[in-house]
Structure 1
Amino acid sequence: MKIVDPHFHIWDLSQLSYPWLTTGPSTGVFGDNTPIRKTCTLGEYLAQSGSFHVAKTVHVEAAVAQGQDLQETAWLERVAQVQGQPNAIVAYCDLSSEAAKAKLDGQRRTTRVRGIRQILNTHDDELLNFAPQEFMENDLWLEGFELLSARDLSFDMQIYPSQMAAAAQLARQNNGTRIVLNHTGMPLGHDPASFNAWRAAMSELSLCDNVSVKISGLGMMFHDWTTEMIRPFVRETMKLFGADRCMFASNFPVDSMFSTFETLWTAYRDIVSDLSSAEQDKVFHQTAERIYRI
């Protein structure tokens, strides 16, 4: 089965520094990351695909050490030139930095860069907090965000449901910028109250036509996930955003700690098996190809 995976990572610990992989096992949202505290190559990723044909991929920045963002992009470009993938890159830039304009211009000069990600998750629980501040309330960051549209760069947005009202306001104020919500909006629970809060927040964000969603990362959020557990999140996301704005993604190797590639993509396939072939083509490859222009 042909798929386009619009959210995966590779890293080479001999080439670049990744503090989150080398400074001690993580205890955050994805738990102990010991299994992935090693070099993860493109070949290893593709070898896990099983019966699924990974036709194209989009690499998303993997939290390199400060100041190595352009180096990560250059390294990925070299990998792609030799091995043919990744087909597109979502690079890192601190949009609150005074150097944001120069960094964005530097990233844009790489032919495969299609967008930027700067993780925005904030939470009162330190184990769930990813960002040093609420960037969507930072005027310098907002000015940096406004630079994306003129450079034809999308923004991969990683937030929690509690941040979606602010994200919707940002999307409305920057309706010329494509925003891609990461990891199904990162629901923090699958009990009825948590699901309803997630759905209400997603509903508001879905009203912004420039926002699309990667259905991914549910294993990262629910380590003991099953197909039936994630089914409501997948179907509700597709109901709110439609197949034209939804795309399945792996979030490997992070989500490889919670399932095999075959198990994950088989679950996706089963959950949408009753949809038309046209809708399935969109969520498995066409939406990602259009959004990331590959």
Structure 2
Amino acid sequence: MATQHSNTIFDPHLHLFYLDEGDYFWLKNALPPWPELAMLQKDFSVKDLILNDDYILSNFVHIEAGFNNQQPEKEIAFLENTIGKLHKAIGYAQIDVAPSVFEEQIKTLQKFSSFVGIRDITEGNDATRLHAHSVKCNFALLAKNKLIFEAQFEISELPHTTRLCELAKAHPNLNIVLNHAGLVTPQNYKNWLTAIVLLAKIPNIYIKYSGFEMQQMTLSNTFRGQIFKDITENFTLERIMFASNFPICLMTSSYLSLWQHYKQLCANEAIWQKLSYDNASQLYKF
């Protein structure tokens, strides 16, 4: 991409909050045990994605944020009406529901041009949903419709990782994206690294380098750097993406500082170009 501005960003993972419009039960009721959660309990719009003149945010993927899990299409409709269609959207759908129900949910979401896939957060005990018999059928439907599955769970829990590997191999045309570097901490690092080696061998699995603030706000740059090294030594560069997790990232960093930090991780411009723009642009077909 010779014409591409070297610091143009495609952010594949952010959230916009409109608290008067949506449910946001998790946010309004302060469910995550984050010390700085209170600073997030307000509206965030595109104007809050603040960079400087050195960086350009060209496009982004909006990830479902609990706007309305009973009618997830309402979040996508609201976003298209509010900010237009110059973004892509990941909607919510529970991956273990009956295939007939799942198909109807997907048909409803497909009415929106920004819709490109779903996320079902299966952290902790919710990871048992990945093992439901219906998941294989539902993954097949996503693959048939060329949609993306965003996977968010502790990949250090190896039985769940093994299950995701089996599903990914059974549906090689389905692109699966691991959210937030697989939720790694110093405590689960050993099993996390085992999982990374397994997952990286499967060509339709991608990974986002993001979300560390959700695990431990005191994670050192040294530890984060080690995680980056582990990921880049196992995954092909074409399957790794920098992402912000805005506005959650604001608990530890400004939007601008986060992207500046990401650029410092890259040994050269070619790596930065792939991880900050090219890979996300190609995967989400913008």
Q: Structure 1-normalised TM-score?
A: 0.88
Aligned to 1:284: 276
2:37 matched to 1:21? no
Deviations 1:159-199 (A, max 9, x none): 11213222111111111100011001111x226xx322211
Match of 2:119 among 117, 120, 124: 117
Question: What SS does structure 1 have at the residue aligned with 2:124?
Answer: coil
Contact 1:181 1:214 in 2 (8 A): yes
Alignment of 1:209-248 (within 5 A): 209-248=203-242
Deviations 1:259-284 (A, max 9, x none): 11122112211111x23x22221101
Alignment of 1:249-288 (within 5 A): 249-272=243-266, 274-275=267-268, 277-288=269-280
Contact 2:146 2:173 in 1 (8 A): no
Amino acid in the other structure paired with 1:100? F
Aligned to 1:128: none
Alignment of 1:87-98 (within 5 A): 87-98=87-98
2:170 matched to 1:196? no
Aligned to 1:155: 149
Question: What SS does structure 2 have at the residue aligned with 1:146?
Answer: helix
| Distance of 1:27 and 1:152 partners within structure 2 | 32
Structure 1 unmatched ranges of 5 or more: 124-130
Alignment of 1:141-180 (within 5 A): 141-161=135-155, 162=157, 163-180=160-177
| Superposition CA RMSD, Å | 1.7
2:107 matched to 1:105? yes
Q: Which moved more, 1:281-290 or 1:229-238?
A: 229-238
| Distance of 1:63 and 1:32 partners within structure 2 | 19
Aligned to 1:40: 44
| Distance of 1:94 and 1:200 partners within structure 2 | 27
Question: What SS does structure 2 have at the residue aligned with 1:73?
Answer: helix
Q: CA deviation at 1:102?
A: 0.9
| Distance of 1:9 and 1:62 partners within structure 2 | 6
Deviations 1:60-114 (A, max 9, x none): 0002333130101111111232xx64x1111111233342101101111211111
Q: CA deviation at 1:31?
A: 4.5
Match of 1:12 among 8, 18, 23: 18
Question: What SS does structure 2 have at the residue aligned with 1:205?
Answer: helix
Q: CA deviation at 1:252?
A: 0.7
Structure 2 unmatched ranges of 5 or more: 1-6
Aligned to 1:65: 68
Contact 1:97 1:140 in 2 (8 A): yes
Identical counterparts, % of pairs: 24
Contact 1:5 1:54 in 2 (8 A): yes
| Distance of 1:151 and 1:196 partners within structure 2 | 36
Number of aligned residues? 274
Q: CA deviation at 1:249?
A: 0.3
Contact 2:96 2:130 in 1 (8 A): no
Q: Kindly report structure 1 stretches of 4+ aligned residues shifted beyond 3 Å.
A: none
Match of 2:130 among 118, 131, 136: 136
Question: What SS does structure 2 have at the residue aligned with 1:247?
Answer: strand
Amino acid in the other structure paired with 1:141? V
Aligned to 1:127: none
Aligned to 1:126: none
